[in-house]
Structure 1
Amino acid sequence: MRRLLSTAAIFAIGFTPLAVKPAAAQGYQIDCAILLCLAGGWPASVPCARARAEFIRRITPWPVEPPLQIWRCPMRAALRAPDPVARLYRLAGVNPGPAVSPAPQMEGLHLAQAVGHGADIDVSGSAFAFIRSIDVFDAYLSQGVVGEGEHCRRTARIRHGSYDSTGQFRWRIASPGELPPAFQGDEGFGATCPSIRVRAVFVDWEDHEGTYGSEQVNY
């Protein structure tokens, strides 16, 4: 098992296969599970499969939601427990079994009051960089030749959603050039004038070890 992360919730990454607690279904805290499973690279388990499915469902139109809603995972409550890592597992409704290591030292932790829809602890440190790595693009691109003069008509409407240092999600207007290389369907946009029409929501991320992942939903 890889080492535990350090800091507030600092998650046990590289899970051994997780087992669902028999009575956990009704009280399942999906955003705590998303937080843990995303950090760990979506390890193969029933709770992580559910967490990933919800992560993708939220960006599936309509409406497009923040895929991780960290304000729904009470990490401050986990910190006040004797073992915050175990507490987070309980909040997520998963049971890592006897392989969980003791809680990491917390001396570097600084609590912060939530502002808006941010986390209820300080997530600005490098241990939580995987949260800020999440990018959501809600994109519509259209391009084609029109009229007798064969003019190239282009339309681009793109929103980019990202998380700030508090864990709050914000949208802004973006340009076609900001779409990640893994985005599919924009090849040739703005170059000559191949016919293009793509409407999609795209999300990408990096886990705690920097491994890249992405998902695109066309509609």
Structure 2
Amino acid sequence: MHFPTKKHVLLFAAALAFANSSVPSSTRAQTYPIDCAILLCLSGGWPAAIPCARARAEFIRRITPWPVEPPLQIWRCPMHVGFETPAPSERLHRLAGFNTRPAVTIAREIEALRLAQAVGHGADIDVSGSAFAFIRSIDVFDAYLSQGAVGEGEHCRRTAQIRHGSYDSTGQFRWRLASPDELPPAFEGNEGFGTVCPRIGTRAVFVDWKDSEGTYGFEQVNY
């Protein structure tokens, strides 16, 4: 099973942009499931095309507090459809706007984000193989770090509250508690935490990923 290359994603995005240009602006956002576009554009390294820019904007919006949502909600991209071509790329192409039938839509659920709780559902096809490894590469860190000297004895007070969100082999998203040591090297605002006692006050949501070719990317939203 092979996922589309960046060239294929660019061709998809160009075709989708052309098809979308003939739709009234008030309804363009509903012409394809956004999570199908996120899935395809993320795998291709977020090509510089309007549909992929919109998909990336939604990907980042979802981690912008509050609440913090899974950036990819794969259960909103129904891929288990009876197409004559079973290839994942073809499924996504059609779901994301190439088919002439009405787009598949799923009602938005209200989901509580509790520690160690699964959010949403998994994919409706098998995504456990290497072709979908980029899904499992996505990590979300919702972090609050505080450090500073207090009192006459200059006691160092430290507080760390960190949730780590990740995807399992089915594409389901789960939260768990994490430690400051698990924050990725690209995370900014934890420099010196746990050392001599520089003053730190950081609240941020951080997401990183690798595309289907292994290229690393990340975004951090401070608040």
Q: After TM superposition, list the pairs within 5 Å mapping 1:1-219 onto structure 2.
A: 6=1, 10-14=3-7, 15-17=9-11, 18-19=13-14, 20=17, 21=19, 22-23=22-23, 25=28, 26-77=30-81, 80-83=82-85, 84=87, 85-93=89-97, 117-219=121-223
Q: CA deviation at 1:30?
A: 0.3
Partners of 2:90 and 2:167 in 1: CA distance: 26
SS, match of residue 54 in structure 1: helix
Counting matched residue pairs gives 191
1:55-74: CA deviation from partner (whole Å, max 9, x where unpaired) = 00000000000000000001
Partners of 2:91 and 2:176 in 1: CA distance: 35
Please give the TM-score of this superposition, normalised by the length of structure 1.
Answer: 0.82
SS, match of residue 166 in structure 2: strand
1:31-62: CA deviation from partner (whole Å, max 9, x where unpaired) = 00000000000011110000000000000000
**Aligned match of 2:107:** none
The answer (yes or no) to whether the contact 1:13–1:36 under 8 Å persists in 2 is: no
Q: CA deviation at 1:82?
A: 2.2
Task: State the percentage of identical aligned residues.
Answer: 75
4+ long deviations beyond 6 Å = none
Q: CA deviation at 1:92?
A: 1.6
Uncovered stretches (5+) of structure 1, i.e. residues with no partner: 1-5, 96-115
The answer (yes or no) to whether the contact 1:29–1:91 under 8 Å persists in 2 is: yes
SS, match of residue 167 in structure 1: coil
Partners of 2:214 and 2:98 in 1: CA distance: 24
Partners of 1:12 and 1:180 in 2: CA distance: 27
User: What RMSD in Å do the two structures reach over aligned CA positions?
Assistant: 1.8
SS, match of residue 80 in structure 2: helix
1:144-194: CA deviation from partner (whole Å, max 9, x where unpaired) = 000000000000000000000000000000000000000000000001100
Partners of 1:197 and 1:16 in 2: CA distance: 41
Partners of 2:186 and 2:97 in 1: CA distance: 33
Change (3 A) 1:211 1:94: farther
The structure that is helix-richer by fraction is 2
Q: CA deviation at 1:91?
A: 1.4
Partners of 2:215 and 2:193 in 1: CA distance: 28
Question: What is the letter of the counterpart of residue 84 of structure 2?
Answer: P
1:63-117: CA deviation from partner (whole Å, max 9, x where unpaired) = 000000000001111xx2123433311312369xxxxxxxxxxxxxxxxxxxx60
Question: What is the letter of the counterpart of residue 58 of structure 2?
Answer: E
Partners of 2:61 and 2:54 in 1: CA distance: 10
